[in-house]
Amino acid sequence: MQKEKYLIIPNKKELELYSNFKSFILPLKHYSIGYNVYFDVDEINELSNTYEIYVMMNKFLHMKIYDFEKIYPKFNKNIKFIVEDIGLVNIIDKDRLVLYENHILSNYKAINFLSSLNIKNVVINNDLTHYELKEIINKCESNMFYHYIAKNSIMYSRRNLVTNYNKYYNLDDTNHYELKEKVSLKVLEIKEESDGSIVRFNKIFCASKYINDIKELNLIIDLTDIDEDTTKVIIENYNKENLCDLIDADYYFLEHDIKYKVGDLK
């Protein structure tokens, strides 16, 4: 069993604000989307002298994958990479790569198959029940990461969805909307950046109620788009079971089996 570990995705660049933490996931400028702050190679290298650093790259890169091949050698050797584009497996050293196949890694068979390919660091879904999580922990030996606290991302697109919507309906320019989904009545946040759009739930997913079931995982705390007061409560209570009662949180997935996951439907 590994030592309990938490990793912060910051909503501000000043990492000293998160004084309880020494491990950070930093979104790489031009290679990630949907975050509050982005970091360039020089900033990341400098911070890696003080903190344990993982670089987040959650875009599918298309031609940019060849650009990354050129800048990869510039990173300090102690830096690791969390990547969604599986093509990067051929560029990044396996021991420095964490594969983040968003909404895909939902069962122990998939994780163990990747392990057989020497991909032993993975981000698993957080739309799993606590029973499913325990099964994965018991049946896998991979080094697994899990979004423990986050406004969960539903999807992203390289299209400028908000701009196109504003143009079609002749609306004032904005890069952000809140939408109510008609069936579930859940509120979604859609925001656009220079080269794409991302949709998130507006409520914070928080797994603290079941923290004792998932301590073997590397627990990611994503503070993106979380207000200052709530951020403070999270930072002060991140490892307490009752955190989910202290913030406007949701943990529906942990208690309800969702039958849209890959492999569920026959």
Contacts of 55 (CB under 8 A, 6+ apart): 25, 26, 27, 28, 44, 75, 79, 80, 81, 82
pLDDT at 13: 96
Are 105 and 133 spatial neighbours (Cβ–Cβ below 8 Å)?
no
Domains and CATH numbers, the chain: 5-151+204-255 (3.20.20.70), 152-202 (no CATH)
Query: What's the whole-model pTM score?
Result: 0.93
pLDDT digits (tens, 9 = 90+) for 52-81: 999 999 998 876 666 899 999 999 999 999
| Distance separating alpha carbons of residues 37 and 35, to the nearest angstrom | 6
pLDDT at 263: 54
What residue ranges of the chain have pLDDT lower than 70?
Answer: 1-4, 63-66, 259-266
| Distance separating alpha carbons of residues 48 and 125, to the nearest angstrom | 27
Question: What are residue 72's DSSP bridge partners?
Answer: none
Contacts of 166 (CB under 8 A, 6+ apart): 172, 173, 174
Exposed, middle or buried, 133 (CB in 10 Å: 0-12/13-18/19+)? buried
| Distance separating alpha carbons of residues 44 and 20, to the nearest angstrom | 19
pLDDT at 1: 45
3-state secondary structure the chain: CCCCEEEEECCCCCHHHCCCCCEEEEEECCCCCCCCCCECHHHHHHHCCCCEEEEEECCCCCCHHHHHHHHHHHCCCCCEEEECCHHHHHCCCHHHEEECCCCCCCCHHHHHHHHHCCCCEEEECCCCCHHHHHHHHHHCCCEEEEEEEECCEEEEECCCHHHHHHHHCCCCCCCEEEEECCCCCCEEEEEEECCEEEEEECCEEECHHHHHHCCCCEEEEECCCCCHHHHHHHHHHCCCCCHHHHCCEECHHHHCCCCCCCCCCC
In this structure, the strands spanning 196-201 and 187-193 are antiparallel
Closest CA to 243 of 232, 228, 256, 257: 232
